[in-house]
Amino acid sequence: MNRLDTDVLILGSGGAGLFAALHAKAGAPDLDVTVAVKGLLGKCGCTRMVQGGYNVALAPGDSVERHFMDTIEGGKWLNDQELAWILVTVARERIRELENELGCFFDRNPDGTIHQKAFAGQTFDRTVHKGDLTGIEIINRLAEQVWARRIGRLEDHRAVALIKTRDGAAVAGVVMIDMRTGEFLFVRAKAVLLATGGGPTMYRYHTPSGDKSCDGLAMALSAGLRLRDMEMVQFHPTGLLAGPETRMTGTVLEEGLRGYGAYLLDGEGRRFMTKTDKRGERATRDIVSRAMFAEMRNANTGPMGGLFLTMGHLDAGEVRRQFPGMVERCADCGFDLVSGRVEVVPTAHYMMGGVEFAPDCSTALEGLYAAGEDTGGVHGANRLGGNGVANSTVFGGIAGDTLAKWTPKHGKFRDPDEAAIAAAEAECLKPLANPPGDLEEVRERLAQLMWDDAGIVRDRVSLGRTLDGLDKLDKVLAGVGVGVDGRDLAYNLAWHDWLNLKNLILVSKVIAAAALARDDSRGAHWRADFPATGDLETSAFTSARLAGDRIDVSMRPVAFTRVRPGETLIKESAAE
Ligand SMILES: Cc1cc2nc3c(=O)[nH]c(=O)nc-3n(C[C@H](O)[C@H](O)[C@H](O)COP(=O)(O)OP(=O)(O)OC[C@H]3O[C@@H](n4cnc5c(N)ncnc54)[C@H](O)[C@@H]3O)c2cc1C
Task: Output the pLDDT for position 184.
Answer: 97
Atom of ligand 1 nearest to the CA of 139: 29
Which regions of 322-449 does DSSP assign to beta strands (E)?
341-351, 354-355, 368-370
- Comparing C-alpha atoms, which of 137, 59, 242, 175 is closest to residue 429? 175
Task: Output the pLDDT for position 327.
Answer: 94
Residue 45 CA, ligand 1 centroid: distance in Å: 4
Confidence of residue 517 (pLDDT cuts 50, 70, 90): very high
Residue 248 CA, ligand 1 centroid: distance in Å: 18
Mean per-residue pLDDT for 558-576? Answer: 83
Please confirm, yes or no, whether 236 is among the known catalytic residues.
Answer: yes
Sequence-ordered list of residues with C-beta below 8 angstroms from that of 278, at least 6 positions apart, any chain: none
* DSSP 8-state code for residue 137: H
Ligand 1 first shell, C-beta below 6 A: 11-17, 36-39, 44-47, 49-53, 158-159, 195-197, 207-208, 211-212, 215, 252, 350, 372-373, 385-390, 392
Task: Output the pLDDT for position 536.
Answer: 97
Mean per-residue pLDDT for 420-438? Answer: 93
Element (H, E) at 162: strand 157-164
Atom of ligand 1 nearest to the CA of 212: 37
Residue 302 CA, ligand 1 centroid: distance in Å: 31
pLDDT beyond 90 at 121: no
Task: Output the pLDDT for position 534.
Answer: 94
Task: Output the pLDDT for position 576.
Answer: 40
Q: How far apart are CA 370 and CA 226, in angstroms?
A: 12
Task: Output the pLDDT for position 487.
Answer: 66
Task: Output the pLDDT for position 299.
Answer: 86
Judging by beta carbons within 10 Å of its beta carbon (0-12, 13-18, 19+), is residue 440 exposed, middle or buried?
exposed
Task: Output the pLDDT for position 251.
Answer: 86
pLDDT beyond 80 at 500: yes
Confidence of residue 119 (pLDDT cuts 50, 70, 90): confident
Q: How far apart are CA 298 and CA 521, in angstroms?
A: 22
Mean per-residue pLDDT for 382-393? Answer: 95
Please confirm, yes or no, whether 258 is among the known catalytic residues.
Answer: yes
Task: Output the pLDDT for position 248.
Answer: 85
Mean per-residue pLDDT for 291-299? Answer: 92
- % of residues, the chain, pLDDT over 90: 86
Mean pLDDT of the chain: 94
- % of residues, the chain, pLDDT over 70: 98
pLDDT beyond 60 at 454: yes
Atom of ligand 1 nearest to the CA of 119: 8
Residue 22 backbone zone (phi > 0: left; psi -120 to 50: alpha; other: beta): alpha
Using a cut of 0.85, tell me whether the model's pTM lies above it: yes
Least confident of 22-26, 48-52, 263-267: 48-52
Question: Which residues are 552's β-sheet partners?
Answer: 545
Query: Which one of the listed residues 258, 414, 443, 545 is annotated catalytic?
Result: 258
Residue 536 CA, ligand 1 centroid: distance in Å: 31
Task: Output the pLDDT for position 574.
Answer: 47
pLDDT beyond 60 at 29: yes
